[in-house]
Amino acid sequence: MNKIWIEKYKKEILGKFENKIDVALENYNELHLFLKNAQDIPEICNYIYGNLGTRLTTVICTDERKLGNGFVIRHVFGKENGEDVFIFVTSKIDESILSYPSIAMAIPAATLHEREIHDMFGIIPIDNPDTRPLVLHDHWDKNIFPLRKDFGLNTKIPRQEREYPFLKVQGEGICEIPVGPVHAGIIEPGHFRFSVMGENIINLETRLFYAHKGIEKLAESMKIDDVLLLSERIAGDESIANSTAFCQSIEKIASVTIPKRAQQIRTIFGELERLYNHMGSLAGISMDVGFPFGSSRLNILKERLMKLNESLSGSRILFGVNRIGGVRCNITDESKKIITESMDFILSDFENIVTLLKSKSSFIDRLKDTGIIPKRAAQDLGLVGVAARCIGIDVDTRRDHPYSSYLLHKKETPHEVMQREISMQKRNGDVLTRFEVRVQEVLESFDIIRASLNLENDSLYVNRPQNLEPFRSALGYTESHRGQTVHWVMTGENNSIFRYKVRTASFFNWPIIEQSVLNDIVPDFPLVNKSLDLSYSGNDL
């Protein structure tokens, strides 16, 4: 199916830029374009982004100096409307130049990627207006580039004293409120710098990457099966999404097709993960408006789902479900019964609670028109997941790039498509919409799990070949409860990993929080933050 689309885009791009593109290769649903000259990056990227209607998926940098390629930058674009294609724009950057033209002015979503590459590889994006440090905080040596191959994983770097240049808002009556990285609640570390006029937020600047653990560098020194465990721990609450994406990449590189039963089990666990996390964030929304009754009831359901996770997989947060080539844990007839019984109970209770919450005007008042995401900013920053769907940007990796057994669930009648589109247009991007989108997704997840319980009768996994071909790469992607998660793996010699690039949904969605609180007061910030439910660890890696 995707062959048709790849041919179409290949013809279109080569027709326009034939003299600027060296070769065009295909790899599953990926179209790789190798540029002759890195100076052509903006022109070709802008064409793919603007004229072909794609979204930026990720920007990957690799240090291929050992292979004689210098540094290589891959700008990845994805079609998100049912045409299952990813377009890679690949260009080499010579070691003596160490810079490339930035695309951030035309494609703002690339800004953070370029800052990250600047920190980790020391390659300068020319014309990017913001080259402040991102991943490596102010205390790091400026000449340290952790993802370069000549940097040792265990190098200890002495601390340097430096101040991070926050944006200063000045004027009469304007105060600064610094919050974090240690917060009042039980949440992950991050710093928020508010500039306020009374209670109104004038500006918010986020400073993240406190939880940076060097996951991408660490993966390069680990065995492939151990990297699977590492991928589960990128963000504890996205363990299935991340490990499935990693497994997909390796399975594509090894040309392994996993059994149907394994695909279905991955789907079931993926949806169970979505369920317990959506329950948690709905409970959080209820808590942050000061309505603990709702949050207590929803937390009871979350705990029940975690108990279900435990009895099915042996881990309350679904660690250890996946393996490369399939899954490790089976769903037996007995566990099917447990799933159906718990789901019936949880679903009826959930519907009761939601009806009750929606009937409380004081609850709805706090949610309505709070934390509105501006649509233009949402498009520019390339939002994914619930954050995008709440403003009517209809993206869902489960439908746009089907994986596991999601292909089976996407059949819609023309009437349903129209209804979906109308409901998308009505969405205005406030906390209430995000609340409703989550409630709807919870109900859909129940349906998907029910439909997937009709398991095929084949094996749980296939063995992968012992030796993987070196320097092959592939993209793995899933829809976590936060949105599209993309992993890119390039194999190295002796079954090692040459480069492991992870881009979770949180990395794309974090910048929008600065835009969405601008019409609100400081006490609304926790509510807006919780309604977006972003991961710090998944962002910081």
Residues that bind another protein (CB under 8 A): 137, 139-140, 146, 151-157, 181-182, 184-189, 209-215, 217-218, 222-223, 225-226, 229-230, 233-237, 239, 280, 296-297, 299-300, 302-303, 306-307, 310-317, 319-320, 349, 352, 355-356, 535-538, 540
Complex with another protein: residue 108 or 236, whichever CB lies closer? 236
Whole-number minimum distance, CB 381 to another protein, in Å? 23
Which of 36/148 has CB closer to another protein? 148
CA distance 341 to 401: 32
Shortest distance in whole angstroms from residue 496 CB to another protein: 14
Would you tell me how many other CB atoms lie within 10 Å of the CB of residue 407? 14
Starting at the earlier edge strand, list the strands of the sheet with 191-197: 174-179, 191-197, 200-207
CB-based contact 57:75 (threshold 8 Å): no
Which of 299, 249, 268, 183 has its CA nearest to residue 460? Answer: 268
- Beta carbon nearer to another protein, 24 or 298: 298
Work out how close the CB of 439 gets to another protein at its nearest, in angstroms, rounded to a whole number: 17
User: Measured from the CB atom, is 15 or 158 closer to another protein?
Assistant: 158
Terminal Cα-to-Cα distance of the chain (whole angstroms): 35
Q: 482: closest CA among 537, 534, 444?
A: 534
From the list 99, 95, 52, 46, the residue with the least C-alpha distance to 75 is 46
Give the span between the Cα atoms of 303 and 341, in whole angstroms: 15
**In the bound complex, what is the minimum distance in angstroms from residue 244's beta carbon to another protein?**
16
- List the structure tokens of 344: 């019936």
Cβ nearer to another protein, comparing 167 with 186: 186
- Please say which residue, 154 or 170, places its beta carbon nearer to another protein: 154
> Which residue, 107 or 312, has its beta carbon nearer to another protein?
312
E strand segments, 146-257: 174-179, 191-197, 200-207
Please, what is the minimum distance in Å from the beta carbon of residue 48 to another protein? Answer: 34
Strands 30-35 and 86-93 turn out to be parallel
Distance CA 283, CA 293 (A): 9
Rounded-to-integer distance, Cα 474 and Cα 224, Å: 14
Collect contacts of 181-190 with beta carbons under 8 A, ≥24 apart: 181/210, 185/526, 187/536, 188/535, 188/536, 188/537, 189/536, 190/536
3-class DSSP assignment, residue 96: coil
Q: Give the largest CA-CA distance in the chain.
A: 71
Residue 18: Cβ-neighbour burial (10 angstroms; 0-12, 13-18, 19+) = exposed
Radius of gyration of the chain (CA): 23
Going by C-alpha positions, the residue among 440, 438, 450, 538 that lies closest to residue 481 is 438
Q: How far is the CB of 540 from another protein (least distance, A)?
A: 8
Nearer to another protein, 189 or 392 (CB): 189
SS3 content of the chain, % helix, strand, coil (to 5): 45, 20, 35
Which residue lies nearer to another protein by CB, 10 or 217? Answer: 217
Give least dist CB 445 to another protein, A.
Answer: 18
Q: Nearer to another protein by C-beta: 97 or 182?
A: 182
Q: Smaller CB distance to another protein: residue 26 or 310?
A: 310
